[in-house]
Every structure is written in structure tokens, then in C-alpha cells.
């Protein structure tokens, strides 16, 4: 009998070697795909992180518009680069670019939008096997403010008492620097708003003696007449022509001519501002009051009895009156100015008789409580920065939001 051939065994050995090679190649491919998936997944994670921080930075920066410098600085502060408030530790180094510009959603003076662009280079580990050394990630976020949002009915309530023409120590200041700063802040606020959708009016304290005497030097005695008008400029939309303030409008011209004198009583001014919103406001608009004062209330109208809280607790009555207004759905922003003054804009609330309110309350506490929340209260302990504060309030109520400016 012939010997059995061993050739089939050699064939089986060759096939086994081929399978091992194919398996090895397949394993490499699978590992490569898995590795690529890990690197790509991490790249997507980085992209999501960068987009989130860019969105946050743009929204934060928009709150400081229309100041290009302030908006840019704020955006960097909230960005995703190292040192930014939205920096993520396990993300590669982030490069941030911030620019400002005009977009067509609302009037622009000088800018109304901020663009935050962020990028990062994500190195790969496993994808290098396929010749991919890194992924370059780019994101972009644009936010506007104002954005032509829901219409607003806004009453400005402005302190024009005698302390507005005094310095921090209660000395006479013939230049009335505090009042000048407040008036400029109000003008900046008005310039920021959109007259096509926003109405603005003005109430003052002390009130005027008549509707035609808004530019006269106020007297404390004018508080004592129930007919004295606190609203010296009714809600209107003629305060701007294009992007320029209309100096002949009742609102702008009144702001320009205001003078300071007299003591402080603000409860009725808040109530009259709300009455104006009720009378001439629109059901389709949000009601806003922006209240400003440099000190404590120390007087109450004499047509109230001497036991009335308007007389005995003028600061607390201001808080109470504001509470009634807020309960109606009106949002109140309050601005305290030089509240730690040692005289003039005194820090301690007093009754009409000159005694301290009981229980005691400070000007800071009263004006803070008048606001619709801690985030709606702005304390300015030193003079000269009211323009920034009024602009911040204007930006917030105008509703900063993210936009796709490629569609504008």
C-alpha cells in the first residue's frame, strides 16, 4: 500500500496562517476604528464645551453693550480660555477672539452685538495610527442687546433732592455733579432703548408745582399738595429720531433742565409712576420702573396724619409702596447712589419730625428692598459711574439673547 500523502496537512497549515494574518489585520482595523471613535468622541466633547462657554461669554458680554470695551472685557471674563469663568480643566488650551458690531435686529449706537469665537487644537492618541495627528475645533456665538424683544413701558423715577447738589460730606457743590451724572446716566439709558417698541416716562421727587413747572427749582413744600405732579413726562415714544435723542421731546428736554432742591420722600413717586403705567401703558408691554435715589427718605406729605407711615416711616413706606407695585407685575430696578454719604444723602431714615425711624432702617436697606430682587439692585457707593449702571439696566431689560447673525 502506498504511503499517505502529507500535503493536505501542509495545506491546512497554510490556511491557518492566513487566518491568523487576516485576524490580526481585522483586529488592527477594529482597534483603529475604536481608537478613532475615542478620539472623535473627545473632539466632540471639546466642541460642546467650547460652544457652551462661547454662548455664555457672548450673553455675558451683551449685558455690557453698547460699550464695546466693557462688552469685550466681560466676554473674555466668561470665556473658555484659562482663567475664564467657564474654563474646563480637561479641555486643551483655548484661543478666544471677541469682536463687536451692529446687526439689524434693533437700533445700534455704537454697537448692539458681540461675537465670541473660540478654537482649540485637540491632539489624538490612537488616530495617529491612521495618520490623523489632531482635530482643529472652531465655534462661534453671537449675542445682541437690545434685540428688538417684547415692547416695554418704562417709568424712570429720579431723585432731584438737595443732596444731589452736595458732596459726600454734605458740602454744597455748585456744579451739582451728582445730579449731572444722574442726568447723563438717564440720557444714556434713553439712548439705548428702541422708540419703535418702547415707551418711556419720567417721575421725579420732589414733585413739580404744576405740569408746566418741571424745570423750576423744586421746593419741599410741593410734597404737601396732593395735586403736585410727580410725573413730569408722560409715557411716550418720541424720545429719539433714528438713533439720536430728540432734544425737543418732553422726556429728553425735561431731563436736561431738572434742578435739585428739597428733602426726600419717594413712596408717592413710586405710586404715581405705577399710576402712569396703568393709565398710558399697553397690555402687550412689560411694565418696568427704574428707581434712583442718593439717600434716605426723611419726609412725608402733610396731607397725611402725623401717625401715618408716610410721615413716621417714609423709608419703610417706600418699601411698602414698591411691594404693592411689584405685586401688580411691575419689575423695579433700584439704583442707590453714594448711600454711605455722611451728610446730605444721609444714610439713616428719619420721620418727618427728625427722629430716626422705628424700627431703624438704613437708606441702603430701603433702596435694596424696593428692587424686585437682589439682582435688580445696583449700589453705587462712589460718584461718577451712573452711566455704566443705567446702561447695564437698559441692556438687561432689553433682553440680551443669542442670535444667528448669518441670517440677518
pLDDT at 9: 46
Count: domains in the chain: 2
Domain encompassing residue 51: 16-144
- Give the tens place of pLDDT for each residue, 85-104: 888 888 899 999 999 999 98
Residue 172: HSE in the Cβ half-sphere, 13 Å Cα cutoff:
2
Please check whether residues 194 and 316 belong to one and the same domain.
yes
Higher pLDDT, 228 or 338: 228
Q: Which of 141, 128, 149 is nearest to 35 (CA)?
A: 128
Does residue 1 form part of some domain?
A: no
Please check whether residues 165 and 140 belong to one and the same domain.
no
Task: Count CB neighbours of 309 within 10 A.
Answer: 18
- Give the tens place of pLDDT for each residue, 32-64: 666 677 888 889 999 999 998 999 899 889 988
- The answer to whether 239 and 207 have CB atoms below 8 angstroms apart is no
Task: Count CB neighbours of 154 within 10 A.
Answer: 27
Last residue of a domain, one of 144, 165, 192: 144
- The answer to whether 208 and 262 have CB atoms below 8 angstroms apart is no
Last residue of a domain, one of 109, 127, 144: 144
Which segments within 317-384 are labelled E, that is strand? Answer: 331-337, 377-380
131 by DSSP, 3-state: which? coil
- The answer to whether 305 and 228 have CB atoms below 8 angstroms apart is no
Higher pLDDT, 299 or 127: 299
Q: Which of 371, 372, 346, 376 is nearest to 361 (CA)?
A: 346
Burial (Cβ within 10 Å: 0-12, 13-18, ≥19) of residue 292: buried
Last residue of a domain, one of 144, 173, 193: 144
Helix axes 250-257, 177-192, angle to 10 degrees: 160
Entry pTM: 0.71
Q: Give the strand pairing for 113-123 and 134-144.
A: antiparallel
- The answer to whether 61 and 116 have CB atoms below 8 angstroms apart is yes
Amino acid at each position: 500500500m502506498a504511503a499517505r500523502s502529507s500535503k493536505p496537512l501542509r495545506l491546512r497549515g497554510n490556511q491557518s496562517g492566513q487566518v491568523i494574518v487576516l485576524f490580526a489585520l481585522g483586529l488592527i482595523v477594529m482597534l483603529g476604528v475604536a481608537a478613532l471613535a475615542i478620539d472623535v468622541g473627545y473632539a466632540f466633547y471639546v466642541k460642546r464645551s467650547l460652544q457652551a462657554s462661547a454662548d455664555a461669554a457672548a450673553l455675558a458680554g451683551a449685558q455690557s453693550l453698547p460699550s464695546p470695551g466693557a462688552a469685550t472685557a466681560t466676554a473674555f471674563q466668561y470665556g473658555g480660555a484659562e482663567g475664564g469663568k467657564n474654563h474646563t480643566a480637561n479641555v486643551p488650551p483655548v484661543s478666544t477672539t471677541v469682536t463687536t458690531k451692529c446687526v439689524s435686529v434693533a437700533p445700534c449706537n455704537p454697537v448692539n452685538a458681540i461675537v465670541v469665537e473660540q478654537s482649540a487644537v485637540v491632539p489624538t492618541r490612537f488616530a495617529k495610527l491612521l495618520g490623523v495627528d489632531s482635530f482643529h475645533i472652531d465655534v462661534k456665538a453671537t449675542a445682541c442687546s437690545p434685540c428688538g424683544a417684547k415692547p416695554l413701558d418704562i417709568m424712570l423715577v429720579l431723585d432731584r433732592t438737595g443732596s444731589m447738589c452736595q458732596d459726600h460730606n454734605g458740602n454744597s457743590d455748585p456744579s451739582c455733579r451728582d445730579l449731572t451724572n444722574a442726568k447723563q446716566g438717564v440720557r444714556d439709558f434713553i439712548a439705548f432703548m428702541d422708540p419703535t417698541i418702547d415707551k418711556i416716562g419720567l417721575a421725579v421727587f420732589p414733585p413739580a408745582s404744576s405740569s408746566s413747572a418741571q424745570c423750576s427749582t423744586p421746593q419741599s413744600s410741593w410734597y404737601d399738595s396732593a395735586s403736585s405732579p410727580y410725573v413730569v413726562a408722560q409715557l411716550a415714544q418720541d424720545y429719539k429720531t433714528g438713533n439720536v435723542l430728540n432734544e425737543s421731546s418732553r422726556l429728553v428736554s425735561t431731563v436736561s433742565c431738572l434742578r435739585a432742591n428739597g428733602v426726600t420722600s419717594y413712596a408717592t413717586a413710586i405710586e404715581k409712576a405705577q399710576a402712569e403705567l396703568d393709565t398710558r401703558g399697553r397690555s402687550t408691554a412689560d411694565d418696568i420702573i427704574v428707581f434712583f435715589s442718593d439717600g434716605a427718605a426723611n419726609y412725608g406729605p402733610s396731607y397725611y396724619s402725623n401717625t401715618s407711615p408716610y410721615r413716621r416711616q417714609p423709608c419703610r413706606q417706600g418699601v411698602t409702596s414698591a411691594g404693592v407695585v411689584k405685586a401688580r407685575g411691575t419689575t423695579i430696578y433700584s439704583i442707590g447712589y453714594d448711600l454711605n454719604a455722611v451728610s446730605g444723602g444721609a444714610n439713616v431714615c428719619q420721620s418727618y419730625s427728625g427722629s430716626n425711624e422705628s424700627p431703624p432702617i438704613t437708606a441702603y436697606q430701603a433702596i435694596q428692598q424696593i428692587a424686585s430682587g437682589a439682582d435688580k439692585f445696583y449700589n453705587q457707593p462712589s460718584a461718577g459711574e451712573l452711566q455704566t449702571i443705567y446702561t447695564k439696566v437698559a441692556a438687561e431689560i432689553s433682553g440680551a439673547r443669542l442670535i444667528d447673525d448669518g441670517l440677518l
